[in-house]
Structure 1
Amino acid sequence: MISKICIALLCISLLHSCAAFSWKPCTDVESKSSIKDVDLTPDPPFPGSTAKFTIDATADVEIGSGSLDISVAYHGFPIYSQSQDLCEKTACPVKKGPVIVALEEPFPIITPPGPYTVRITAKGKGNDAPQLFCLDVDFNVVPQGSRAQQNIQPESS
């Protein structure tokens, strides 16, 4: 009886961890901002969905223009990277103080379920330009139609 309870608690714990994402500032890179919060919608993402990352930070420097670099790892293996114009994701120039960066990434319908890490880096243009922020976001992509995906509330218009 006790082993059945332990198994049930373990299953509940695993299901809960599948639905939650986590984030942390990069430990190997110096940034010129502090990140207050990161939001991921839907949580968890699923094949065919568009993940919306919203990063709430405070900039310590001004950046006229720059890039937003994204790299994706699946089970720890790099699978995708791209660079986008920072000014398409936030207002430029980025002034000292509060800054919100919004990023949308579509997940193809063939996206395999499992653990992903996305590194998002915002930096100014040029070799000597400051790095605004760097963060790692860990999450699980769940199969479409799974219980974790069904618990997602529809967005209100």
Structure 2
Amino acid sequence: MKSQACIALLCLIVLQGCSAFSWKPCTDVESKSSIKDVGLTPDPPFPGSTAQFTIDATADVEIAAGTLDISVAYHGFPIYSESKDLCDKTECPVKKGPVKVALEEPFPIITPPGPYTVRITAKGKGNDAPQLFCLDVDFNVVPQGSATQQNIRPESS
């Protein structure tokens, strides 16, 4: 009986390490766009890599300028946050219709493997400015050199 429990636990750990990222719109925030797709490269990220997030959305409002707020949680605990200029990550002014946001985040070589959640929020400037979108991206960082990381093929230039 103990061996079956150990095998089941080992399978869960292996599956968790191999699982692809997932994303969902924030449920606690009203947004003025619909998110169509989110990409993460490499998937999964590993220490020393640079994660590239791409967000395809459709804006319901126009925003002249704004911020992109990023907050990172590890095992559910907040560990890092920063704000970036939205216009450095997409074309401004943001007009109604299709919007693509590209974001790169380096993972230091000392990044511990495990589950992470990144909240990405795009909003206009000012207190009354509309929020373009908010989403949560869940993924696992795998150890550098792991079998999962070795299956990643670098993009050709």
Under TM normalisation by the shorter chain, which class is it?
A: over 0.9
- Conservation of the 8 A alpha-carbon contact between 1:35 and 1:56: yes
Structure 1 stretches of 4+ with a deviation exceeding 6 A read none
Q: Which amino acid letter does the alignment assign opposite residue 136 of structure 2?
A: D
Match of 1:51 in 2: 51
Q: Distance in 2 between matches of 1:123 and 1:61?
A: 11
Q: Distance in 2 between matches of 1:30 and 1:66?
A: 16
- Conservation of the 8 A alpha-carbon contact between 1:18 and 1:139: no
Alignment coverage as a number of residue pairs: 153
Q: Which amino acid letter does the alignment assign opposite residue 149 of structure 1?
A: Q
The verdict on how the C-alpha distance between 1:42 and 1:125 changes in structure 2, with shifts beyond 3 A counting, is: same
Equivalent residue of 2:93, what SS? coil
- The TM-score, its normalising length taken from structure 2, stands at 0.92
- Conservation of the 8 A alpha-carbon contact between 1:66 and 1:85: yes
Match of 2:138 in 1: 138
Listed one character per residue, the Cα deviations across residues 44-103 of structure 1 (whole Å, up to 9, x for unaligned) are 000000000000000000000000000000000000000000000000000000000000
Match of 1:29 in 2: 29
Match of 2:14 in 1: 15
Equivalent residue of 2:29, what SS? coil
Equivalent residue of 1:15, what SS? helix
Match of 1:150 in 2: 150
Q: Distance in 1 between matches of 2:89 and 2:13?
A: 34
Gaps of 5+ in 2: none
Gaps of 5+ in 1: none
Match of 1:101 in 2: 101
